[in-house]
Amino acid sequence: MASRTGQKLLKFDRKLGARLVAGTDEAGRGSLAGPLVVAGVLLDYGCLRDHKVRPLGFLNDSKQCSAERREELVRVIPHGAIDRNGLHKSNLAAMREILHALSPPAEACLVDGFRLGPTAPAHQAIVDGDEKSAAIAAASIVAKVTRDRVMRRMDALFPHYGFSSHVGYITPGHSKIVRERGPSRIHRRSFQALCYRSEEELAALSA
């Protein structure tokens, strides 16, 4: 049986009165290492009654889904979908590019949180959109699963940092190993994180 949250997300999109609803979201914006992954999903509400996409009723914000549920959803989302600037600017630029590239064009474009500027297609910025819209939640799942897969591959290249467990986000263990070994080439050097500081610097800051 589909979840109440999933049904609420689908209902939000259907109320827009459009058949083709696009959602965009990102994963990795707040991480210490690894890529920023931006995804766009164009849901075709004309085919969402098909048995292949019933699992979309389990959609939720990717952070609220288990890893197993995310992997299941990332397999079924395509059945209902038509497939140095700084993090924020890069994020907005990628979202604009995704919305421009949609074919066929979306009848309604939803973005998680941010307005994309006048050069983007007509769109709505939805605060906490991954908790309200099925299209945005689907994009958050695709972005999260894609990024996690990349970081698990990075774990094989940089085995000392534990990327397979924290996927590049800041944790006490991640911070400790970065202080001990220094950052890898996939760590964000512009990220002013305390874990880049030595024990002596940290002690001076807390004094």
Q: Is the pLDDT of residue 1 over 50?
A: no
Between 61 and 4, residue with greater pLDDT? 4
- pLDDT tens digit string along 85-105? 677 888 888 899 999 999 899
pTM above 0.85, yes or no: no
pLDDT of residue 89: 85
Cβ–Cβ < 8 Å for 97, 59: no
Judge contact between 74 and 141, C-beta under 8 A: yes
Given a contact cutoff of 8 angstroms between Cβ atoms, the answer to whether 163 and 33 are in contact is yes
Residue 81 pLDDT > 70: no
Q: How confident is the model at residue 179 (pLDDT cuts 50, 70, 90)?
A: confident
Residue 127 burial by CB count (10 A; 0-12/13-18/19+): exposed, middle or buried?
Answer: exposed
- How many angstroms separate the CA atoms of 178 and 173, rounded? 9
Residue 130 has pLDDT above 70, yes or no: yes
* pLDDT higher at 193 or 109: 109
Between 30-44, 51-65, 105-119, the lowest mean confidence (pLDDT) is in 51-65
Tokens in use for 199?
Answer: 């024990």
Instruction: Of 24-38, 69-83, 120-134, 141-155, give the lowest mean pLDDT range.
Output: 69-83
Q: Is the pLDDT of residue 2 over 50?
A: no
Half-sphere exposure of 200 (CA within 13 A, CB side): 0
Check whether 142 has a pLDDT greater than 70. yes
State residue 199's pLDDT score. Answer: 64
Q: What pLDDT, in 10s, does the model give residues 7-26?
A: 888 889 999 999 999 999 99
- Of 42-51, 57-66, 96-105, where does mean pLDDT reach its minimum? 57-66
Residue 83 has pLDDT above 70, yes or no: no
Cβ pair 125, 114 in contact under 8 A: yes
What is the pLDDT of the chain when averaged over all its residues? 82
Contact 158, 181 (CB under 8 A): no
